[in-house]
Chains A and B, each alone.
Chain A
């Protein structure tokens, strides 16, 4: 620290920008997780119970998405798709769609592993008490699979929250964008990072702790 004079007052004046950014980051994460979970659940179920011919398509989607950088997918959806077909959307919508498609690929795997770990005896017990296949799914397989998958799900959710920072690359005004914006306005680089990094850290932790509580509450005792 060679004679660096801290000046938090200037940065503090823009604190609202960080707060708004954080709110948008959280909103992006929630919207993405909601859509991603639907994609993940539907595809995991179709892959397990659906017709054989759809499996290669689901595998193809999962493998393609998981092996390509998120940044590239974000550009592809935001700049690439509108250039080819006449479809207009704003950056935020575009990012939510991209991240949902991206997270869907990870969630299929997590949820499928959860479903596969549901004990066979439990499913048979469900059938034995007269539940229909849909009944077994809703009352037995789904709740058990979700509980088994919770630890992996919380990891995926936290990394999704961190991935919302990529939205700054297409100028969605979330937290990372707010950081860079204040930096270019004030040139108080160190202060901006000292304020904003803990915000990411604390939020990531809050998500993790909340889900750990859920894990403990809903843990399956064998």
Chain B
């Protein structure tokens, strides 16, 4: 028990980095992914094509490889990013691709009749989007998006492999010092669980309500 109390402040420091990285990645990937997802759902073919390629490319490669590529690969072409920035860039590149797909899926799940009905009562493009499509799409967007937040928090543990002292690496360091492995791993797992479980429950509730 004293061991846990002694190591707790150190683990909480790591947890702060885990949450910081996750929050940064989520905000950035919303800013990038939602507009691109809208273009993928409604845009002209020439604009959809590069976005499709991007999303498919990024989702076909493991996050770990993207992370290594940004951190170890880019310096070769004189792009030197500090590890925390590199981690956020790589995770955002990955998460954006998922947000693009979720956004596209949300819009495409709306029946065509909705657009036709909106057109028939004389709504213009902007009004159709704001008053008819977007309110319905957001209900389809939320459940998978919240699930994807859980994924982000879990995926952020990979930044420990670049030497960033997040919860995962803080845990490793405490274990290295104290040589108490299993109880501390379980404690770390429970800390991740405490953040993610409410989110997955929320996602399931939203799914039941909206989909």
Contacts and interface: CB of A to CB of B under 8 A. Distances in A.
Interface of A: 1-2, 4, 63-64, 66-73, 75-76, 79-81, 83-84, 162-166, 168-169, 176, 179-180, 183, 189-190, 192-193, 196-197, 200-201, 204-205
Given A68-B189, A193-B73, A63 B62 contact: no
Interface stretch (B5-13, B33-41, B111-119, B155-163): B155-163
B55 interface: no
Q: Do most interface residues of chain B lie in helix, strand or loop, or is the interface mixed?
A: helix
B42 interface: no
B148 interface: no
Size category of the B interface is 35 or more
A79 B154 CA distance: 19
B196 A68 contact: yes
Interface of B: 57, 59-65, 68-69, 72-73, 75-78, 150, 153-158, 160-161, 168, 171-172, 175, 179, 181-186, 188-189, 192-193, 196-197, 200
Given A63-B193, A200-B62, 18 more contacts: A2-B77, A67-B150, A67-B197, A69-B154, A72-B168, A72-B188, A72-B192, A79-B175, A83-B181, A84-B181, A166-B158, A168-B64, A176-B68, A189-B73, A193-B73, A197-B69, A200-B61, A204-B60
B52 to A, nearest CB: 13
A168 B67 CA distance: 13
Q: Which 3 pairs between the two chains have the least Cβ-Cβ distance?
A: A67-B196, A69-B157, A165-B62
